[in-house]
Amino acid sequence: MNEPMKLVFLTDKLTYGGTPLQMVELASGLNQNEFEPYFIALSDVDDRLQDILLSKHIPVVQIGCSNWTKPAALPAAARLLRTIRRIHPRIVHAFLTTSNVLGAVVGKAAHVPVVITSHRDLGGFDGKWITRANRWTDRHLANVLTANSEAVKQIVLNETAVERKRFEVIYNGIDLDKFAQQASSSDKRSELGLRRDDFVIAMVANLRPAKGHEVALRAFAEIADKVPQGYLLFLGAEFDPNYSEKMRQMAQAYQLTDRVLFLGARNDVASILPACDVLLAPSHSEGFSSAILEAMAAGVVVIASAVGGNVEQIVDSETGYLVPPSDADTISTRLLELFLRPELRQKLGKAARDRVQECFCVEKMVERYERLYRSLFRSKPNLG
């Protein structure tokens, strides 16, 4: 009997958020008779995610370096090299920019046969030099590049000029069972101080300008008088105090401080979403939104800007709505229509959940990654 294929998943941080959660779902879902995954985190590790992995007998190694431009990065890189050599994987699959660079460089130094780099957004969020380094390693060291949407793939192709055949698009996946097992929405509304007949609009995104919170606020303000029982929930970490204060001042200027709730970072989003009527995703830039997938899985209608991977997730007017970027007027029109027509909310929400089941469930994501890993193994029969 052949031994399982050893894989190293390399990430900048193993913290509670989009990409790390997708990595945990992937590693947890792999066929353990065929694959033996390991996790290496360059810096922070969230105890909750580590516990999930350890419960699946997936080892987690923390390198403990968050700044790779300082002298302390050299011994950290040496630790990373020793760790990869000790594991002796057949494939290193790196996620996020710094991990892409280090995974490619250190992976090749450790004589790992296959290095995969991953791209999860449309760019512009990382420093100039690390982005240039990532583009170079993509061209010269990575065997395969993956992206979580066609939009992300096209951006990277334009910037790197790598051969299209080296690129694989694999959409994020959602565990539908997690949403089916949630407590009743009325219980969650009561916990949040909301009533059964309130019209609840949510936005799940860390508070930063690229996510378009100000657009959501303007749209909500336009319908506030017509929907007196309407509430807008902001769920997400507040990393930029200036931007967070700006949003609170906007809510105050609209006289909506009692109806715009800043709930901060939450680990119970899966139970909050079924208690909502609509999810807003007015991002100015988006690779492939986990928040949109989670809302669709929960049967919640999504109104999203027609940017990036959003147009691949939502079928406009069938499973949700796509609107032009920064178009608060169109968002407010859609919100009012959904408020007045609960049967439409139900119809679109069911169609959204069906689309997740068909295209974006975690089982399909895992299946496609397993197929990729097997194809790489067959193309290099002397791996390991």
Q: What percent of the chain has pLDDT over 70?
A: 96
Distance CA 116, CA 252 (A): 48
- The boundaries of every CATH 3.40.50.2000 domain in the chain are 5-173+362-379, 176-360
Distance CA 7, CA 278 (A): 39
Question: Average pLDDT for residues 101-119, to the nearest whole number?
Answer: 96
Out of 3.40.1010.10, 3.40.640.10, 3.40.50.2000, 3.40.1350.10, which CATH number does the structure's domain 176-360 have? 3.40.50.2000
| 253 touches 266 (CB < 8 A) | no
Distance CA 199, CA 179 (A): 20
> Structure tokens of 72?
């302390």
Question: Average pLDDT for residues 287-313, to the nearest whole number?
Answer: 95
Architecture of domain 5-173+362-379: 3-Layer(aba) Sandwich (3.40)
φ/ψ (deg, to 5) at 335: -60, -45
Which pTM does this prediction carry?
Answer: 0.87
Task: Indicate the range of 5-9, 156-160, 211-215 predicted with least confidence.
Answer: 156-160
The SS3 of residue 93 is strand
Distance CA 272, CA 80 (A): 39
| Model pLDDT for residues 182-238, shown as the tens digit of each residue | 656 778 899 999 999 999 999 999 999 999 999 999 999 999 999 999 999 999 999
| 117 touches 137 (CB < 8 A) | yes
- Please report, in angstroms and rounded to a whole number, the separation of the first and last CA atoms in the chain: 16
Q: Provide the total of helices (H) and of strands (E) in the chain, helices listed first.
A: 16, 13
The confidence band for 315, taking pLDDT boundaries of 50, 70 and 90, is very high
- Which 8-state DSSP code applies to residue 341? -
